[in-house]
Amino acid sequence: MLLALLTTPALAAPAAAAPPAHAAPRTNADPLPRPDQVGLRAALSAAVDRGAPGAAARIDDRGTVHAVSVGLADRRTGRVMDGRERFRIGSVTKVFTAVVLLQLADEGRLDLDAPVTRYLPGLLPGDTVTVRQVLGHRSGLYDYADDLFARSVPGFEAVRTRVFAPRELVDLSLRHPRLNRPGAAYAYANTNFVIAGMLAERLTGRPVAAEFRDRIFRPLRLRDTFYVHPGTAVPGRHARGYLTPDRAGDPLVDATEQTVSWAQSAGAIISSTRDVDTFLTALLSGRLTSPARLREMRRAVRVTATQAYGLGLRRRDLPCGVSVYGHTGAVQGYYTVAFATADGRRSLTAFANASNNGPVLDTLGRTLDAAFCGVPARRPGGPGTPSAPPDVVRPSAP
Question: What pLDDT is stored for residue 160 in this prediction?
Answer: 98
pTM: 0.89
Question: What pLDDT is stored for residue 30 in this prediction?
Answer: 64
Q: Please say if the pLDDT value at position 381 is more than 60.
A: no
> In one letter, which amino acid is 342?
A
Average pLDDT over residues 189-216: 98
pLDDT tens, position by position, 51-93 = 999 999 999 999 999 999 999 999 999 999 999 999 999 999 9
Question: What pLDDT is stored for residue 19 in this prediction?
Answer: 33
CA 384 from chain centre, in angstroms, equals 20
Q: Please say if the pLDDT value at position 17 is more than 60.
A: no
Q: What are the phi and psi torsion angles at 365 (to 5°)?
A: -65, -20
Q: How many CB atoms lie within 10 A of CB 359?
A: 21
Q: How many CB atoms lie within 10 A of CB 114?
A: 13
Kindly give, in sequence order, each residue whose CB lies less than 8 Å from that of residue 151, ignoring residues fewer than 6 positions away: 246
pLDDT tens, position by position, 180-194 = 999 999 999 999 999
pLDDT, greater one: 216 or 6 = 216
Average pLDDT over residues 311-317: 98
Packing angle of the helix pair 93-106, 291-298 (nearest 10 deg): 140
pLDDT, greater one: 381 or 17 = 381
271 among known catalytic residues = no
pLDDT-based confidence at 375, cuts 50/70/90?
low
Question: What pLDDT is stored for residue 249 in this prediction?
Answer: 87
pLDDT tens, position by position, 254-286 = 999 999 999 999 999 999 999 999 999 999 999
pLDDT over 90, % of the chain? 85
In the predicted model, what is the mean pLDDT of the chain? 89
In angstroms, the CA 374 to CA 37 distance is 9
Q: What are the phi and psi torsion angles at 345 (to 5°)?
A: -75, -25
Kindly give, in sequence order, each residue whose CB lies less than 8 Å from that of residue 30, ignoring residues fewer than 6 positions away: none
- The 3-class SS string of the chain reads CCEEEEECCCCCCCCCCCCCCCCCCCCCCCCCCCCCHHHHHHHHHHHHHCCCCEEEEEEEECCEEEEEEEEEEECCCCEECCCCCEEECHHHHHHHHHHHHHHHHHCCCCCCCCEHHHHCCCCCCCCCCEHHHHHCCCCCCCCCHHHHCCCHHHHHHHHCCCCCCHHHHHHHHHCCCCCCCCCCCCCCCHHHHHHHHHHHHHHHCCCHHHHHHHHHHCCCCCCCCECCCCCCCCCCCECCCEECCCCCCCCCEECCCCCCCCCHHHCCCEECHHHHHHHHHHHHCCCCCCHHHHHHHHCCEECCCCEEECCCCEEEECCCCCEEEEEEEEECCEEEEEEEECCCCEEEEEEECEECCHHHHHHHHCHHHHHHHCCCCCCCCCCCCCCCCCCCCCCCCC
Average pLDDT over residues 15-38: 58
Q: Exactly one of 45, 69, 91, 261 is catalytic; which is it?
A: 91
Contacts of the segment 124-127: beta carbons below 8 A, 24+ positions apart: 124/170, 124/174, 124/195, 125/174
pLDDT-based confidence at 248, cuts 50/70/90?
confident
Average pLDDT over residues 113-130: 96
In angstroms, the CA 40 to CA 372 distance is 10
Q: What are the phi and psi torsion angles at 167 (to 5°)?
A: -60, -35
Kindly give, in sequence order, each residue whose CB lies less than 8 Å from that of residue 389, ignoring residues fewer than 6 positions away: 188, 328
Question: What pLDDT is stored for residue 16 in this prediction?
Answer: 31
Q: Are strands 354-355 and 242-243 parallel, antiparallel or unpaired?
A: parallel
